[in-house]
Amino acid sequence: MAAWCQAWHGRDRPSDSAVRSAHVSAAERPRTSMTPPPGAAIPARHPDAPAPGETLGAHYEQCFGCGAGQPYGLQLEARAGEGVTVSAEFTVKEAHQGAPGLAHGGVLTTALDETLGSLNWLMHVIAVTGRLETDFVRPVPVGTTLHLDARATGREGRKIYCSGTGRIGGPDGEVAVRADAVFIEVKVEHFINNGREEEIKAAMADPDQVRRARAFEVNP
């Protein structure tokens, strides 16, 4: 095993077949409802979460959604709101077109995914998107600023339920896109075991990245 991998928790990377078989069985499972089940916990803000109005910062510099290192990325800067809510703005660029002069739906979904994912930050939970369902309500022209809002709606086991909207014309403008999602809590090993070796090595050599990931490992 490579020293960089041992340095974390000394765990082996899974074989390709182990990763493949996990995905096959998950694919056979019925889809999870987007509505929190009765008895789901109300999501609670972590005591060390950024105060309302503070920006959250990128979780990874090369993230397509929030990283400054991606010139064609969305470079979203989410801000903490009250409770487990966040807001962000994203201005659609030429590089984000699907039809002439209009934002690509996948890019709009990415903006929602990123905004919803940043809610986990406020709970000090590391989680990945399990399911994301987007409604495209209005076309969004290039140059438009999308005003994004997201809130966590429930937690059950490792599942985090959340919903968000993207509005145009201002923070209280018309809804152009909306989404519901279920995120699944994971350990840092999810990234270490599955990510490409060169990027994982670089992330683990970055003290800020390691500090950020470690801070979330202890979740009272």
Smallest gap from Cβ 25 to ligand 3IX, in A, equals 8
Smallest gap from Cβ 200 to ligand 3IX, in A, equals 6
**Is the CB of 27 or the CB of 99 nearer to ligand 3IX?**
27
- Is beta strand 159-168 parallel, antiparallel or unpaired with respect to 85-91? unpaired
Smallest gap from Cβ 182 to ligand 3IX, in A, equals 4
How distant is the alpha carbon of residue 69 from its chain centre? Answer: 17
**Is the CB of 77 or the CB of 138 nearer to ligand 3IX?**
77
- Identity of the amino acid at 60: Y
**Is the CB of 90 or the CB of 191 nearer to ligand 3IX?**
191
**Is the CB of 129 or the CB of 145 nearer to ligand 3IX?**
129
Beta bridge partners of 103: 97
Smallest gap from Cβ 145 to ligand 3IX, in A, equals 21
From first CA to last CA, the distance across the chain in angstroms is 32
Euclidean distance between CA atoms 90 and 143, whole angstroms: 10
Smallest gap from Cβ 153 to ligand 3IX, in A, equals 14
Euclidean distance between CA atoms 52 and 161, whole angstroms: 21
How distant is the alpha carbon of residue 13 from its chain centre? Answer: 24
Beta bridge partners of 166: 148, 177
Sheet with 145-156, side-by-side order of all strands: 79-80, 85-91, 145-156, 159-168, 174-185, 127-136
From the list 63, 10, 47, the residue with the least C-alpha distance to 195 is: 63
| Contact positions vs ligand 3IX (CB under 6 A) | 22, 26, 29, 32, 59-60, 65, 113-114, 117, 126, 128-131, 157-159, 182, 184, 186, 188, 191-192, 203-204, 209-210, 213
**Is the CB of 33 or the CB of 101 nearer to ligand 3IX?**
33
**Is the CB of 142 or the CB of 188 nearer to ligand 3IX?**
188
Smallest gap from Cβ 29 to ligand 3IX, in A, equals 6
Beta bridge partners of 133: 180
